[in-house]
Amino acid sequence: MRKLCSFFLFSILLASVVFGTQENRYNINLVNFDIPYLWEIKEPIKARKVELIHDEKIATINIVQRKFIEDVTANALHEKRAISHYDGWIKIVARQGSEKEKILSKSGDMYVAVYIKQFLNESLTLDEYLTAEYYFIKDNHYIIASVITTKPYWETIQPDIKSFLQSFWLGKGEREQYVPKEVTTLDWVEQYNSNNTNYIDANPKLGKELSMVWEKVATEHNKEYSWIIKSDSLMFLTQHTLSKMDINTGKTIWTFNLKKKVNPRYIAYHSNLVFLMVDHPYKQIVALSSDSGERIYSIPLSSLDVFPMFSQNRCIVNDNGIISAYLISTGELEWVNKTVQASMKTRLVGDESIIVVQRENKRVVGLNSKNGDIEWQSKTFHLVQQPSFWDQHVFLPIKDTSKAEKLIILDKNTGKIKWGFNKSILNFSFSHPISVNDTNVIVGGTVLDQSTGTQINALFGINQVTGQLEWQKTVDTPTKRPIITNTNIVTFDEDNAAFIMDTLSGESVPLEIPLSENEQLSDLIVYKTHIIKISQKDKQFVIACIN
C-alpha cells in the first residue's frame, strides 16, 4: 500500500511539473521561456529586466536585455562583464555556445561562463557563491541570463536550470527545431561528397596485389552516370535505371526502370531519402525512400542547372537565380531569397549556419541558412572550378588578373581572404577541383617547366591551416580528381595507371587494378576497407569490388 501511495504521489508531482511548464510560459520583448516548477517571477516586472526566485530562496535567475550601440560578440560581452562584475572571482568554466544551443535559442551568437567566489561569514567560515552567466546576441540586442546560488545548492537546482535553458529562446514567431547534424564523412552521400570535398573517412586495404571480390555488368550503356554509397549499399543511377546493391556481396537489392527522364549525373542521400533531378514531363527534385525506392514528395522547379545543397534539415536550391530552402522532412518551402541573383553555373556549398553563393555579378555572398539573409559579400571572382567548403573555410579556384589560376580561401563567417595558393609565375592552371580534408588540400593542375618551357602535370599538397606548400609531385598525364582520406589520396591517370599517395609527404605506391583488355577505368572509389572500380567495356558498365 505504501508503494502504491508513493507512486500516486510521484504521479501527481510529475503532472504538476508538466502542467507548470505548459501554463507558466513567459515572454517579454525578445525573451521567451517556461518558469520552472517551484520558481516565480519577482514583482514588479521591469521592461528590460526579469528576476526569477526559487520558492526556498536558494537561487535566483536574472535576465537582462539591452540594445547595443556598436556590434559586439557574445565572447566580447563575456569579457567585459568579467572585468566589470567579476573582478576577484575565479572563472571555472568559459566556452562558446554549441551550434545546438544557438539554434534552439535562436541567437546569432552565444557564450557561457561560470564564476565562483569565497566569502568569510559571521561564523568565520567560508561561504562559496556560484554564478553562471549565459550571453546571447540577437540582432542588435544582447541578453544576459545570470544564475546565482551557493555551492551547496548548485546540484539541487541543476534540473530547474536545465529545464529553464531548454525552454529559453529569443524572438517572435515559432521556435527553431534542432535536427542533429547528419554524419556524412563515412559514406558517399552525393557526387564528390558533401560540399564538394571528395573526402571519405575510409581505410581500404591497399596492397600491390588486388583480387576481385565480385563483379557486375550493367546492361544499359550511357556515358553519364552517378552513384552514392550509404550503409554498405551502393546506388547506381543511369538515365533509365536506378539500382541498389550490397557492397559486400554485389547482390542486387532492388532495381527500378525510371519512367520519367532523370539527370543521370545527380543522385544524393540525406535523412534516409534519395534525391533525383527529373527533367520530364516537368522539372522537379524527387525524394525517394532509400529502403524501398517509393516516392515520398517532389519539389517543382523551373531550372535544374545547379545541383541542390543540403544543410542541417534543409534542401537549398538555386532555381533560375532564386535561392530557396525546403524542409527535408516534408518538402515544404521554408524561405526564399529572390534578390540574390545567383549564378546558374556555380554550385552551392556551406553548412547549418551559412550558404555560400556566387552571384551573376561574380561576387560571392554568404547567406544565413535559417532565413536566406545576406551576411557578407566579397569582391568579384572569376571561378574556374567549382568551390569547396570545409569547416570554417570556403575554397575558391579562380583566374588571376595575369590570366593564370590560383586558389583562395575565405573565412565562412566574414568572407575575408585567409590565405591563397598562387603559382601564377609558373602559369598554373587547374586540371580539376581540389580535394580537402581536416589538414590537407590537394590541388592538381599544370605548371610551366622552366627548363624546357613546356607545361607539365603536377599534384600539390598544401597545409589546410597555414596554406604552406608541403610537397609537389610531377605526374606523366593528367589525373582523375583524387579521393582523399585521413591519410592517403587515391587516383589514376589517363593510361589507367592507379596509385596511392601519402597526404603528408606525397610519397606514392602503384596500385595494380585488375582490368581486362579494352576495359577503360571511369571511377575508383574507396569505402571503409573496400575499393570499388567502375569501368566501361564493350559499351557496358562494369562495377566491381576489389581487395
Residue ranges in 328-452 assigned as alpha helix (H):
none
* pLDDT tens-place string over residues 492-533: 988 888 888 999 899 988 888 888 888 889 999 999 989 999
Give the CA angle between residues 166, 167, 170 to the nearest 5°. 110
Cell of 406: 590560383
- Output phi, psi for 97, to 5 deg: -65, 145
In what helix (H) or strand (E) does residue 161 lie, and over which residues does it extend?
helix 158-167
- Is 98:105 a contact under the CB 8 Å cutoff? no
Domains along the chain with CATH numbers: 2-170 (3.40.1000.10)
Q: Exposed, middle or buried by CB within 10 Å (0-12, 13-18, 19+), for 523? A: middle
Task: Give the model's pLDDT for residue 125.
Answer: 80
Of residues 328 and 2, which shows the higher confidence score?
328
Of residues 547 and 57, which shows the higher confidence score?
57
Cell of 512: 595494380
Cα dist from 534 to 29, 266, 269, 514, 522, whole Å: 59, 16, 20, 12, 6
Buried b (16+ CB within 10 A) or exposed e, 472-507: ebebeeebbbbbbbeebbbbbbeeebbbbbebeebe
Residue 275 Cα to chain centre, angstroms: 18
Question: CA–CA separation, 135 vs 94, rounded Å?
Answer: 11
- pTM over the 0.75 mark: no
Cα dist from 13 to 7, 20, 281, whole Å: 10, 10, 59
Share of the chain above pLDDT 70, in %: 93
Q: Is the pLDDT of residue 6 over 80?
A: no
Q: Among 21-35, 153-167, 218-232, 463-477, which stretch is predicted with the lowest mean pLDDT?
A: 21-35
Q: Which residue has the cell 567560508?
A: 126
For residue 415, the SS3 value is: coil
Task: Give the model's pLDDT for residue 23.
Answer: 55
Mean pLDDT, residues 162-176 taken together: 87
* pLDDT tens-place string over residues 416-464: 999 999 988 889 999 999 999 999 999 999 998 888 888 899 999 999 9
- Is 349:342 a contact under the CB 8 Å cutoff? no
Task: Tell me the torsion sign for CA atoms 375, 380, 385, 391.
Answer: negative
- Is 7:13 a contact under the CB 8 Å cutoff? no
Buried b (16+ CB within 10 A) or exposed e, 373-409: eebbebeebebbbbbbbbeebbbbbbbbeeebbbbbb
Question: CA–CA separation, 235 vs 247, rounded Å?
Answer: 10
Q: How confident is the model at residue 20 (pLDDT cuts 50, 70, 90)?
A: very low
